[in-house]
């Protein structure tokens, strides 16, 4: 894992502490990724004698970026991307253009809705993307990192994600927050 990824992940975590917000991001990020590649799957192209669509060609740079940030997490995202690209190709070959665009618009609305609800309702703050546009690229890395941690892998990522101080409980008064005392260290 490179130092840049560690810093970016630590910054991203500040906006994603609530488990419900994280769950909303899983569904929102998948919906938005699928919405992005679905219409691109309609555009056939030929590259070096291979027939494909514009979707995998447009996804390659971001997949390469994720692999550079962290090889294991990037490879896992690559695996998920292959499944989603295959599903998009299937939908594009079996659905009418109207249905495909209807699904795309619906996925965009649902994906953005999950992100906004996750931040506004559960985190009670604006999305990280507003303060740092590069967070758009970190969402999939964060979600996959959380999955790796949940499966017992990548203690290095767990140390970054779980060592930051927890957010204060909702509903505490400012007086309570200002007058909290740190516990004494044990001898």
pLDDT tens-digit map of 27-82 = 999 999 999 999 999 999 997 888 999 999 999 999 999 999 999 999 999 999 99
The reported pLDDT for the residue numbered 93 is 94
Whether the per-residue pLDDT at 172 is higher than 50: the answer is no
Mean pLDDT of 5-27: 82
The owner of tokens 């101080």 is: 165
Residue range 111-159, pLDDT digits in tens: 999 888 888 888 787 777 777 777 778 888 888 988 888 888 888 888 8
| Token pair recorded at residue 62 | 């971001």
The reported pLDDT for the residue numbered 184 is 53
Residue range 149-168, pLDDT digits in tens: 888 888 888 888 774 444 44
CB 22 within 8 A of CB 146: yes
| Total H helices, total E strands in the chain | 9, 2
Question: For residue 25, which of 110, 94, 98, 89 has the smallest C-alpha distance?
Answer: 110
* 97 burial level (CB within 10 Å; 0-12, 13-18, 19+): exposed
Cα 187 to Cα 85, 180, 184: the distances in Å are: 57, 21, 9
The reported pLDDT for the residue numbered 179 is 47
The reported pLDDT for the residue numbered 79 is 97
What CA dihedral angle connects 9, 11, 12 and 15, to 10 degrees? 150
The reported pLDDT for the residue numbered 67 is 93
| Token pair recorded at residue 148 | 């790796």
The owner of tokens 């703050």 is: 125
Question: For residue 93, which of 52, 58, 48 has the smallest C-alpha distance?
Answer: 52
The reported pLDDT for the residue numbered 53 is 94
* 180 burial level (CB within 10 Å; 0-12, 13-18, 19+): exposed
The reported pLDDT for the residue numbered 1 is 58
Could you tell me the sign of the dihedral formed by the alpha carbons of 37, 2, 148, 73, in that order? positive
């Amino acid at each position: 894992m490179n130092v840049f990824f560690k810093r970016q992940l630590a910054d991203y975590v500040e906006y994603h502490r609530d488990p419900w917000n994280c769950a909303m991001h899983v569904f929102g990020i998948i919906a938005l990724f699928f919405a992005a590649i679905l219409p691109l799957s309609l555009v056939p192209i030929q590259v070096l004698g291979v027939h494909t669509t514009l979707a995998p060609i447009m996804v390659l740079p971001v997949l390469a970026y994720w692999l550079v940030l962290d090889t294991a997490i990037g490879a896992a995202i690559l695996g998920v991307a292959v499944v989603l690209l295959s599903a998009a190709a299937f939908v594009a070959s079996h659905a009418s253009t109207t249905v495909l665009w209807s699904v795309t618009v619906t996925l965009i609305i649902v994906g953005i809705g999950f992100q906004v609800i996750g931040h506004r309702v559960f985190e009670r703050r604006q999305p990280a993307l507003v303060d740092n546009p590069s967070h758009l690229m970190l969402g999939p890395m964060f979600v996959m990192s959380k999955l790796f941690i949940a499966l017992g892998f990548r203690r290095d990522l767990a140390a970054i994600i779980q060592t930051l101080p927890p957010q204060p409980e909702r509903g505490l008064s400012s007086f309570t927050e200002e007058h909290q005392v740190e516990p004494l260290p044990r001898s």
